[in-house]
Amino acid sequence: MNKLAYHLFKIKKSVHVVLPNKTKHYFTSLNVKSKTDEQDAKVLSQFGVERNHFVWNPPHPIYLELRNLKRCRHQLQTQKTSLSNIKHSKEESYSAQSFVLKSNKLLIKSIDKQIASCKKEIEHLVNSGAKLKEKANNILSMKGVGLLTVAIIVAENMGFEQFHNIKQLVSYVGFDIVQRESGTSIKGKLRISKKGNKHIRNALYSPALVACRYNENLKNTYLEIIKRKPSKMFGAIATQRKLLILVYTLWNKNESSQDDYKSKVAPTKAEATRDNS
Protein backbone atom coordinates (compact mmCIF):
# COMPACT_ATOMS: atom_id res chain seq x y z
CA MET A 1 0.00 0.00 0.00
CA ASN A 2 2.83 2.39 0.83
CA LYS A 3 4.52 1.72 -2.49
CA LEU A 4 1.25 2.33 -4.34
CA ALA A 5 0.65 5.64 -2.54
CA TYR A 6 4.17 6.87 -3.31
CA HIS A 7 3.87 5.76 -6.95
CA LEU A 8 0.55 7.57 -7.44
CA PHE A 9 1.98 10.70 -5.83
CA LYS A 10 5.06 10.48 -8.05
CA ILE A 11 2.93 10.50 -11.21
CA LYS A 12 1.03 13.54 -9.82
CA LYS A 13 -2.22 11.82 -8.84
CA SER A 14 -4.40 12.97 -5.95
CA VAL A 15 -3.95 10.40 -3.17
CA HIS A 16 -6.18 9.82 -0.14
CA VAL A 17 -5.05 7.40 2.57
CA VAL A 18 -7.85 6.18 4.86
CA LEU A 19 -7.65 4.02 7.96
CA PRO A 20 -8.97 0.46 7.43
CA ASN A 21 -11.51 0.74 10.26
CA LYS A 22 -13.24 3.63 8.47
CA THR A 23 -13.77 1.62 5.32
CA LYS A 24 -14.89 -1.35 7.42
CA HIS A 25 -17.56 0.75 9.15
CA TYR A 26 -18.68 2.07 5.77
CA PHE A 27 -19.10 -1.47 4.44
CA THR A 28 -21.11 -2.35 7.54
CA SER A 29 -23.38 0.69 7.14
CA LEU A 30 -24.31 -0.51 3.65
CA ASN A 31 -24.98 -4.03 4.95
CA VAL A 32 -22.53 -5.49 2.43
CA LYS A 33 -22.15 -9.19 3.17
CA SER A 34 -20.36 -10.47 0.08
CA LYS A 35 -16.58 -10.35 -0.10
CA THR A 36 -15.23 -10.23 -3.64
CA ASP A 37 -12.69 -8.02 -5.41
CA GLU A 38 -15.40 -6.61 -7.65
CA GLN A 39 -17.69 -5.81 -4.71
CA ASP A 40 -14.85 -4.25 -2.72
CA ALA A 41 -13.82 -2.04 -5.63
CA LYS A 42 -17.41 -0.87 -6.13
CA VAL A 43 -17.99 0.03 -2.47
CA LEU A 44 -14.58 1.70 -2.10
CA SER A 45 -15.27 3.81 -5.19
CA GLN A 46 -18.61 4.85 -3.71
CA PHE A 47 -16.87 5.62 -0.41
CA GLY A 48 -14.34 7.83 -2.21
CA VAL A 49 -17.06 9.82 -3.98
CA GLU A 50 -19.48 10.25 -1.07
CA ARG A 51 -17.03 11.28 1.67
CA ASN A 52 -14.57 14.14 1.91
CA HIS A 53 -10.99 12.99 2.44
CA PHE A 54 -7.78 14.85 3.18
CA VAL A 55 -5.23 14.82 0.38
CA TRP A 56 -2.23 12.70 1.33
CA ASN A 57 1.30 13.99 0.90
CA PRO A 58 4.35 11.84 1.59
CA PRO A 59 6.15 12.70 4.83
CA HIS A 60 9.60 14.22 4.89
CA PRO A 61 12.21 11.44 4.43
CA ILE A 62 13.91 12.30 7.73
CA TYR A 63 10.73 11.50 9.68
CA LEU A 64 10.33 8.20 7.86
CA GLU A 65 13.93 7.24 8.65
CA LEU A 66 13.43 8.26 12.26
CA ARG A 67 10.34 6.09 12.58
CA ASN A 68 12.15 3.09 11.09
CA LEU A 69 15.02 3.50 13.56
CA LYS A 70 12.67 4.02 16.48
CA ARG A 71 10.63 0.91 15.67
CA CYS A 72 13.80 -1.10 15.13
CA ARG A 73 14.94 -0.14 18.63
CA HIS A 74 11.52 -1.10 20.01
CA GLN A 75 11.73 -4.52 18.35
CA LEU A 76 15.22 -5.07 19.75
CA GLN A 77 14.03 -4.08 23.21
CA THR A 78 11.14 -6.54 22.94
CA GLN A 79 13.51 -9.33 21.92
CA LYS A 80 15.81 -8.50 24.83
CA THR A 81 12.91 -8.67 27.30
CA SER A 82 11.84 -12.04 25.92
CA LEU A 83 15.38 -13.45 26.14
CA SER A 84 15.82 -12.05 29.66
CA ASN A 85 12.68 -13.87 30.76
CA ILE A 86 13.97 -17.09 29.22
CA LYS A 87 17.35 -16.59 30.89
CA HIS A 88 15.70 -16.08 34.27
CA SER A 89 13.53 -19.19 33.89
CA LYS A 90 16.54 -21.31 32.90
CA GLU A 91 18.60 -20.04 35.82
CA GLU A 92 15.82 -21.00 38.23
CA SER A 93 15.18 -24.40 36.64
CA TYR A 94 16.77 -27.64 37.83
CA SER A 95 20.00 -28.79 36.16
CA ALA A 96 20.16 -26.00 33.56
CA GLN A 97 22.87 -26.60 30.98
CA SER A 98 25.74 -24.13 31.00
CA PHE A 99 25.68 -23.94 27.18
CA VAL A 100 22.05 -22.74 27.19
CA LEU A 101 22.75 -20.10 29.85
CA LYS A 102 25.85 -18.91 28.05
CA SER A 103 23.99 -18.75 24.74
CA ASN A 104 21.24 -16.58 26.22
CA LYS A 105 23.78 -14.24 27.81
CA LEU A 106 25.62 -13.82 24.50
CA LEU A 107 22.38 -13.09 22.66
CA ILE A 108 21.33 -10.48 25.22
CA LYS A 109 24.79 -8.89 25.08
CA SER A 110 24.60 -8.74 21.28
CA ILE A 111 21.13 -7.15 21.36
CA ASP A 112 22.35 -4.59 23.93
CA LYS A 113 25.03 -3.52 21.46
CA GLN A 114 22.45 -3.19 18.69
CA ILE A 115 20.16 -1.11 20.94
CA ALA A 116 23.05 1.21 21.79
CA SER A 117 23.97 1.55 18.11
CA CYS A 118 20.36 2.24 17.20
CA LYS A 119 20.17 4.98 19.83
CA LYS A 120 23.30 6.62 18.39
CA GLU A 121 21.76 6.52 14.92
CA ILE A 122 18.62 8.22 16.25
CA GLU A 123 20.69 10.95 17.93
CA HIS A 124 22.72 11.45 14.76
CA LEU A 125 19.61 11.68 12.60
CA VAL A 126 17.92 14.21 14.89
CA ASN A 127 21.06 16.38 14.91
CA SER A 128 21.52 16.10 11.14
CA GLY A 129 18.46 18.20 10.29
CA ALA A 130 18.64 21.87 11.32
CA LYS A 131 14.86 22.29 11.62
CA LEU A 132 14.33 18.98 13.40
CA LYS A 133 17.21 19.65 15.79
CA GLU A 134 15.91 23.11 16.70
CA LYS A 135 12.36 21.94 17.31
CA ALA A 136 13.54 18.86 19.21
CA ASN A 137 15.67 21.01 21.50
CA ASN A 138 12.63 23.17 22.26
CA ILE A 139 10.72 20.09 23.40
CA LEU A 140 13.73 18.78 25.31
CA SER A 141 13.67 21.99 27.37
CA MET A 142 10.79 20.38 29.29
CA LYS A 143 12.05 18.50 32.33
CA GLY A 144 11.19 14.82 32.17
CA VAL A 145 11.19 14.57 28.37
CA GLY A 146 14.17 12.80 26.80
CA LEU A 147 15.46 12.43 23.25
CA LEU A 148 13.93 8.99 22.69
CA THR A 149 10.51 10.28 23.78
CA VAL A 150 10.78 13.17 21.33
CA ALA A 151 11.91 10.79 18.58
CA ILE A 152 8.93 8.50 19.16
CA ILE A 153 6.36 11.32 19.19
CA VAL A 154 7.77 13.14 16.16
CA ALA A 155 8.45 10.00 14.13
CA GLU A 156 5.07 8.36 14.73
CA ASN A 157 3.11 11.42 13.57
CA MET A 158 5.63 12.40 10.88
CA GLY A 159 6.43 15.82 12.27
CA PHE A 160 2.76 16.74 12.86
CA GLU A 161 2.46 17.48 9.12
CA GLN A 162 -0.91 15.75 8.69
CA PHE A 163 -2.60 17.45 11.66
CA HIS A 164 -4.51 20.71 11.42
CA ASN A 165 -5.61 21.01 15.05
CA ILE A 166 -5.22 19.52 18.52
CA LYS A 167 -8.43 17.50 18.25
CA GLN A 168 -7.09 15.51 15.30
CA LEU A 169 -3.84 14.78 17.11
CA VAL A 170 -5.57 13.66 20.31
CA SER A 171 -7.83 11.34 18.32
CA TYR A 172 -4.87 9.92 16.36
CA VAL A 173 -3.07 8.98 19.57
CA GLY A 174 -6.23 7.53 21.17
CA PHE A 175 -6.66 10.07 23.97
CA ASP A 176 -10.10 11.18 22.73
CA ILE A 177 -12.92 10.71 25.24
CA VAL A 178 -15.76 8.28 24.52
CA GLN A 179 -18.96 7.78 26.48
CA ARG A 180 -21.62 5.08 26.44
CA GLU A 181 -25.00 6.40 27.51
CA SER A 182 -28.59 5.59 26.62
CA GLY A 183 -31.65 7.05 28.35
CA THR A 184 -31.57 6.84 32.12
CA SER A 185 -30.66 3.17 32.53
CA ILE A 186 -27.28 3.03 30.80
CA LYS A 187 -24.66 5.51 31.93
CA GLY A 188 -21.22 4.24 31.06
CA LYS A 189 -18.04 5.72 32.49
CA LEU A 190 -16.00 8.20 30.51
CA ARG A 191 -12.84 6.67 29.10
CA ILE A 192 -10.30 7.22 26.37
CA SER A 193 -10.86 5.38 23.10
CA LYS A 194 -7.34 3.87 22.85
CA LYS A 195 -8.07 3.61 19.12
CA GLY A 196 -4.86 5.26 18.10
CA ASN A 197 -1.09 5.14 18.09
CA LYS A 198 -0.05 3.04 21.08
CA HIS A 199 3.63 3.86 20.58
CA ILE A 200 3.04 7.52 21.49
CA ARG A 201 0.75 6.65 24.41
CA ASN A 202 3.33 4.29 25.88
CA ALA A 203 6.15 6.80 25.35
CA LEU A 204 4.30 9.57 27.19
CA TYR A 205 3.56 7.67 30.41
CA SER A 206 6.83 8.01 32.35
CA PRO A 207 7.73 11.51 31.03
CA ALA A 208 4.29 12.81 32.04
CA LEU A 209 4.72 11.61 35.63
CA VAL A 210 8.20 13.13 35.85
CA ALA A 211 7.09 16.42 34.25
CA CYS A 212 4.41 16.75 36.95
CA ARG A 213 7.14 17.38 39.51
CA TYR A 214 8.42 20.47 37.72
CA ASN A 215 5.52 21.87 35.68
CA GLU A 216 2.90 23.45 37.95
CA ASN A 217 0.23 23.33 35.24
CA LEU A 218 0.63 19.57 34.75
CA LYS A 219 0.94 18.98 38.48
CA ASN A 220 -2.30 20.85 39.22
CA THR A 221 -4.11 18.88 36.52
CA TYR A 222 -2.92 15.59 37.99
CA LEU A 223 -3.80 16.48 41.60
CA GLU A 224 -7.22 17.87 40.68
CA ILE A 225 -8.25 14.72 38.83
CA ILE A 226 -7.04 12.14 41.34
CA LYS A 227 -9.10 13.90 44.02
CA ARG A 228 -12.29 13.12 42.06
CA LYS A 229 -11.37 9.73 40.59
CA PRO A 230 -10.91 6.36 42.35
CA SER A 231 -7.67 5.56 40.53
CA LYS A 232 -4.52 7.61 39.97
CA MET A 233 -4.42 6.23 36.44
CA PHE A 234 -7.05 8.81 35.44
CA GLY A 235 -4.69 11.57 36.49
CA ALA A 236 -1.79 9.96 34.65
CA ILE A 237 -3.79 9.71 31.42
CA ALA A 238 -4.96 13.33 31.67
CA THR A 239 -1.36 14.42 32.23
CA GLN A 240 -0.16 12.39 29.24
CA ARG A 241 -2.80 14.04 27.07
CA LYS A 242 -1.84 17.51 28.28
CA LEU A 243 1.86 16.80 27.76
CA LEU A 244 1.14 15.71 24.18
CA ILE A 245 -0.71 18.98 23.54
CA LEU A 246 2.17 20.93 25.06
CA VAL A 247 4.66 19.15 22.78
CA TYR A 248 2.46 19.92 19.76
CA THR A 249 2.24 23.59 20.78
CA LEU A 250 5.99 23.98 21.28
CA TRP A 251 6.60 22.29 17.93
CA ASN A 252 4.22 24.58 16.03
CA LYS A 253 5.26 27.80 17.77
CA ASN A 254 8.95 26.84 17.69
CA GLU A 255 9.35 27.93 21.31
CA SER A 256 11.09 26.41 24.31
CA SER A 257 9.21 25.37 27.43
CA GLN A 258 8.64 27.68 30.41
CA ASP A 259 7.56 25.74 33.47
CA ASP A 260 6.60 28.91 35.35
CA TYR A 261 4.88 30.54 32.38
CA LYS A 262 1.53 31.02 34.16
CA SER A 263 3.10 32.64 37.21
CA LYS A 264 4.97 35.06 34.94
CA VAL A 265 2.00 36.28 32.96
CA ALA A 266 -0.69 35.98 35.63
CA PRO A 267 0.22 36.94 39.23
CA THR A 268 -1.66 35.31 42.07
CA LYS A 269 -4.40 37.16 43.95
CA ALA A 270 -2.05 37.67 46.92
CA GLU A 271 0.59 39.23 44.67
CA ALA A 272 -1.95 41.46 42.96
CA THR A 273 -3.29 42.68 46.32
CA ARG A 274 0.23 43.39 47.58
CA ASP A 275 1.14 45.34 44.43
CA ASN A 276 -2.01 47.45 44.60
CA SER A 277 -1.40 48.30 48.24
Considering the domain architecture, whether residues 257 and 175 belong to the same structural domain is answered as yes
Residue 196 lies in a domain: yes
CA max distance for the chain: 81
Q: Does the pLDDT value for residue 56 go beyond 50?
A: yes
In terms of residue numbers, what domain contains 68?
61-128
Mean pLDDT score of the chain, rounded to an integer?
85
Enter the pTM of the model: 0.78
Residue 273 to residue 277: CA distance in whole angstroms: 6
- Over residues 218-243, the mean pLDDT reads 88
Residues 159, 210 within the same domain: yes
The answer to whether residues 205 and 123 belong to one domain is no
Instruction: Pick 259 or 277 by higher pLDDT.
Output: 259
Q: Are residues 194 and 249 in the same domain?
A: yes
Q: How confident is the model at residue 182 (pLDDT cuts 50, 70, 90)?
A: low
Q: Does residue 135 lie within any of the structural domains? A: no
Question: How far out from the chain centre does Cα 231 lie?
Answer: 23
How many Cα atoms sit within 13 Å of 266 on the Cβ side? 3
Res 213: pLDDT: 86
183 & 225 share domain: yes
- On whether residue 68 sits in a domain, the answer given is yes
Q: Report the alpha-carbon distance of residue 256 to residue 135 in Å, rounded.
A: 8
Task: Count the domains in the chain.
Answer: 3
Same domain? For 113 and 184 the reply is no
Task: Assess if residue 19 is contained within a domain.
Answer: yes
Q: CA 16 to CA 9: how far, in whole Å?
A: 10
Question: Is 159 within a domain?
Answer: yes
In a domain, 238, yes or no: yes
